[in-house]
Amino acid sequence: MRKLFASALLALFTVLPISAGTFDQSMTMIRIMEQSDLEYKTELLENAFDRSDRIAGIYASEKLKTTMDGEFAGQSEEAVDAFKKVLIERLGETNSLEDADIIFTIFNGSDNSQLVRSAAEALGKIGAVQYSDNIIELLEDSNTKQYFLITQGYDNVLKENEKTAWSCVLALENLHSKECYEPLFHTRLSDYSKESGIKERASKAMTVIVRNPTSILKDISDREHSSRGRTLILDISRQSNALEVQKVDLAAYIFSETIVHDYEFGDYMINACAAIEKSPYKVRGTEAALKKILYGSYSPAFTDLAIKAAPHCQNGVNVLSDYLKEQNNYTREGATKYENHQIVLMVINSLGKSGDANAADQLIVARDAGWPPEIKQAADAALNNLLSK
Amino acid sequence: MAKRLAWLLLAACLIFTACTTTSSQKKETAQKGFTEAKEQPKKGQAKDKKAKEQEKEQEQQSADTGIKFTKIHIPLKEIKKENGQITSTSVYTYGQDKLTPERIEIYNIHNELIELVVNEKIEVHTERKSYLDKDNNIIRYYVITRNEAGKIEEQLLFNGSNKLIAIEEYDYDDSGRTSEWRVYNGNEKLLSYNVYTYKNGRNTRVDSFSSNGILSEYFINEFDKNGNLICESAYDKDDNLLAQHRSIFRNGLIYREEFQGEDKKLQWYINYTYSEQYLKVLKTTYSGDGRELEQLEQSCLLFDR
């Protein structure tokens, strides 16, 4: 029942949504709804008002209370539920937080799964974080049920379950509380079909929640060093690829956390190293991890990646130079270990590419020390490389 | 005869001079008023001072300079935020008249299209405005017929299953102002009609009747001296206040809207702020108890009225 504002309201209209109605028309429509039967009430509320119409929102708020108090007790349950659904959706659109409790009553108490889904989505939209645990519970329940339903071949129930999961994911995305991350992560690992789009949706919801990934990571790693905590860190690192702004900081954090806490390696470390290597600034907080890599027994491939990334870390060139200095000294004393030669080569190559003049001292020593010829040649090449920059 | 002609000529000159002076003075005042409206608190000024100024501004309500902002805001993009987070972005595309959006695309936080509004001409005086969901399914649509002057004569509302839900009809008086608005259900049964009354060219009263012709409620509209609609009050047939919508204007621009229910309780209010060049409009909606509900940031083009 939308009509553009009359000319007298032109100034007002120009900053309102295009389909906003006049005050008298909105109020009249509310009266018409009030005088209509339940089915027509539902149709009008669903179709005749814009999503953000706050006059309709007030009507919905009042009407949901009276409906719950039994105003339509004589009507069919189906018709009452259809009306409740439209009322709830309207309240979600108008961000009606004061109605959260009554919406939750429906979410928690209704046998109608469609109504429960609408209630979940509305609770998310209005930001009812106090009920996030309940939505999480429902989502986890759907996640668990999915495998069972697939194996048992309950196709109809399966679809319903997927719809419920979808609504919960949407709700948690809107609540964007960090507690929502884990259940979404589980959703992504669950057995939902690709066509349902739930897993993809859960991934996207996770990127919304990971607005401040470092704090979430810290929270998770402080909480537990269990395999679940590690898996989450792993996953957030993948998610972080979508978060360009925080990518480098997050990569640095993952890099450090993984090494310092002896977490498992995986593709995410390769991502982290690559992100550090491309960083436009010196990445902080990686010094301890770098030292551990140099003295640890990690795979050559990973060690190489980390050492290549090191010059892009704050104090990274010094860490590499100190290592080379130490190894140069051992060489002088004839005590160097053969297994360190490969790391020394990597360090020399990395220092040569660093473009940092501070790297030259130990490269000169390495060139002239008692290293095998291939290391001396590498040191010479690295020096030339350094000087050419 | 020649003497009479000379007198007439002299009188015409005097009138012309007087008019020119008045219009140039008005223009000067207009420019002055506009600048005043544009003045923003300088950086570093205390926050409370800014708040006080805003309060004062609101108190003044229509006690503005009397000069109207003479442009129309045409939104190009609208960013909606809740709790400081972007929840959706609407992008407007306009037709040839540059005033009617042909297409409004609404995207979610992931830049996925979640809703589409398409306005298309289906006949010379008939257009169809459709609301589509993310999967391109029609949720509802209007079929709108306009008269020669471009005003809506009839508007049919259908749901996504093509079921006719409601019909609206408009009548206009000789001056092209709305004189009656009627609503029918999908079976073309009259449900209600509103009759519009004008005083000094302004719509000061609307009487709303149920289908049997009995007055159900009426609306009283109040205007400021510049013709801005500043208060709309809804009363039932026994003169009890049902709701009130108030607006505060300054120099032709809206600065605040308030909505009160029948208990006179403030239900919500909206504060408007404008960028220096008026190309951005920030519309912040609060609940009656002051909780921020949403923020709409509109990037607009300005058109002459």
pLDDT for the residue A312: 87
Taking the CA of residue A279 and the nearest CA in chain B, the distance in Å comes to: 25
pLDDT for the residue B26: 37
pLDDT for the residue A104: 97
Pick the closest to residue B264 from B293, B288, B237, B299 (CA basis): B288
Helix or strand or coil: residue B278? coil
Helix or strand or coil: residue A178? helix
Average pLDDT over residues B234-261: 93
Range with the poorest average pLDDT among A154-168, B21-35, B254-268: B21-35
The answer to whether residue B200 neighbours chain A at the CB level (below 8 Å) is no
What is the rounded distance in angstroms from the CA atom of residue B285 to the CA atom of residue B258? 10
- Tell me which chain B residue has its CA closest to the CA of residue A7: B177
pLDDT for the residue B21: 37
pLDDT for the residue B38: 38
Q: Which residues of A touch B70 (CB under 8 A)?
A: none
Name the residue with tokens 């982290």: A272
pLDDT tops 70 at residue B197: yes
Is the CB of residue B206 less than 8 Å from the CB of residue B217?
no
What is the rounded distance in angstroms from the CA atom of residue B124 to the CA atom of residue A335? 94
Q: Which residues of B touch A10 (CB under 8 A)?
A: 72, 305
More confident residue, B140 or A356: B140
Pick the closest to residue A294 from A318, A265, A314, A263 (CA basis): A318
Tell me the Cα Rg of chain B: 24
What is the rounded distance in angstroms from the CA atom of residue B104 to the CA atom of residue B93? 6
What is the rounded distance in angstroms from the CA atom of residue A71 to the CA atom of residue A83? 12
Terminus-to-terminus CA distance in chain A, angstroms?
71
DSSP A313: B
Range with the poorest average pLDDT among A117-126, A333-342, B70-79, B284-293: A333-342
What is the rounded distance in angstroms from the CA atom of residue B179 to the CA atom of residue B280? 35
Strands B253-260 and B266-274: antiparallel
> What is the CB-side half-sphere exposure of residue A306 using CA atoms within 13 A?
30
Say what the ipTM of the complex is: 0.78
More confident residue, A221 or B111: B111
What confidence category does residue B83 fall into, taking pLDDT thresholds of 50, 70 and 90? Answer: confident
More confident residue, B57 or B221: B221
- pTM for this model (two decimals): 0.68
Picking from B109, B254, B294, the nearest residue to A11 by CB comes out as B254
Average pLDDT over residues B247-275: 91
- pLDDT tens by residue, chain A, 389 residues: 333 223 323 333 333 332 336 899 999 999 999 999 999 999 999 999 888 888 899 999 999 999 999 999 999 999 999 999 999 999 998 888 889 999 999 999 999 999 999 999 999 999 898 999 999 999 999 999 998 888 887 878 899 999 999 999 999 988 877 678 778 888 888 889 888 899 988 888 877 776 555 555 555 555 445 555 556 555 655 555 544 445 566 667 667 766 766 665 666 667 777 777 777 777 777 888 888 888 887 888 888 888 998 998 888 999 999 999 999 888 877 666 666 788 999 999 999 999 888 889 999 999 888 888 999 999 999 999 888 76
Taking an 8 Å cut-off on Cβ atoms, the answer to whether B192 and A32 are in contact is yes
Taking the CA of residue A94 and the nearest CA in chain B, the distance in Å comes to: 8
Disruptive mutation site among B69, B198, B229 for chain A (greatest number of A CBs within 10 Å): B229
What confidence category does residue B111 fall into, taking pLDDT thresholds of 50, 70 and 90? Answer: confident
Pick the closest to residue B237 from B270, B262, B215, B261 (CA basis): B215
pLDDT tops 50 at residue B5: no
Is the CB of residue B83 less than 8 Å from the CB of residue B90?
no
